[in-house]
Structure 1
Amino acid sequence: MTEKLHIVCPHCHTTNRIAAAQLGGEAHCGSCHQPLVTGRPVPLDDASFVRHVGRSQLPVVVDFWAPWCGPCRMMAPAFEQAAGTLKTQAQFAKLDTQAHPQAAAPFHIRSIPTMVVFREGRELGRISGALPASEIVRWVQSVI
């Protein structure tokens, strides 16, 4: 029997149920028909944050950041590179804490950038500070 996973679409934020084996292929959203696996970070707002973090059975790595934060901007390309490297193992997402403080508040984010790994609403791990892509990949793999 093939393992089925709930994956939240990075485009329309609809929850999809797909076979785990489809993650490396061309899995598409049943609602908007866009690819479910993009290898790029998903920008989140209050509502989409709740959906991705709470429903996805694929780990979700959230970068809590703000536009005024120099280290956040410096780490952005490394975060995107890590998202491409781990695209079948985790969904990467970004939450602007300045624009969406309500979504970040329950997690007591004290410094940015802070990355948190979630699976089905549970926090699996967190790390603060700007990291190069190789360290992000290594850290995420150790957590998931």
Structure 2
Amino acid sequence: MDADDASFDAVVGDATLPVLVDVWAPWCGPCRMVSPIVEQMSRDFAGKLKVVKANSDESPRVSQRHGIQSIPTLLLYRNGAEQSRQIGALPAPQLRQWVAAQVG
């Protein structure tokens, strides 16, 4: 699922599950490395985690509101509030471990 400046609050804030937000851009090489890992986690954690992608070029207010200065940045929300964040491209096992620790 995608979120933009207009839909971010509704998509993330109204979620009943924890939400993983992938803030990325199409020109970002590390973002392209992380994207398939995030997509796999959306399948692996189905029913436990909602995954949302926010293109930082198309949604600059999302980045500004969250103080994002480097991409990819992964934000983990629970009950509409940011609980944790991960900046940069980490290997799949580390990203999975981070998400699993947050989701339970």
TM-score (ref. length: structure 1)? 0.67
Q: Percent of aligned pairs with the same residue? A: 42
What is the root-mean-square deviation in Å for CA atoms of aligned residues?
1.3
Tell me what 2:26 maps to.
67
Question: Superposed, which structure 2 residues align to 1:1-144 within 5 Å?
Answer: 42-144=1-103
Which consecutive residues of structure 2, in runs of 5 or more, have no partner in the other structure?
none
Give the residue type in structure 2 aligned to 1:136.
Answer: L
The alpha-carbon deviation at position 122 of structure 1 amounts to 0.6
- Between the aligned partners of 1:132 and 1:57, the Cα distance in structure 2 is 28
- Between the aligned partners of 1:135 and 1:81, the Cα distance in structure 2 is 14
Higher RCO by CA contacts (8 Å cutoff, separation 6 or greater): 2
Higher helix share goes to which structure?
A: 2
- Between the aligned partners of 1:135 and 1:87, the Cα distance in structure 2 is 19
Is the 1:112–1:129 contact (alpha carbons within 8 Å) kept by the matching residues of 2?
yes
3-state DSSP of counterpart to 1:139 = helix
3-state DSSP of counterpart to 2:96 = helix
TM-score (ref. length: structure 2)? 0.90
Tell me what 1:16 maps to.
none
Is the 1:61–1:117 contact (alpha carbons within 8 Å) kept by the matching residues of 2?
yes
Is the 1:82–1:136 contact (alpha carbons within 8 Å) kept by the matching residues of 2?
no
Greater CA deviation, 70-79 or 43-52?
43-52
- Residue correspondences, number: 103
Which consecutive residues of structure 1, in runs of 5 or more, have no partner in the other structure?
1-41
Is the 1:82–1:133 contact (alpha carbons within 8 Å) kept by the matching residues of 2?
no
Moved over 3 A (4+): none
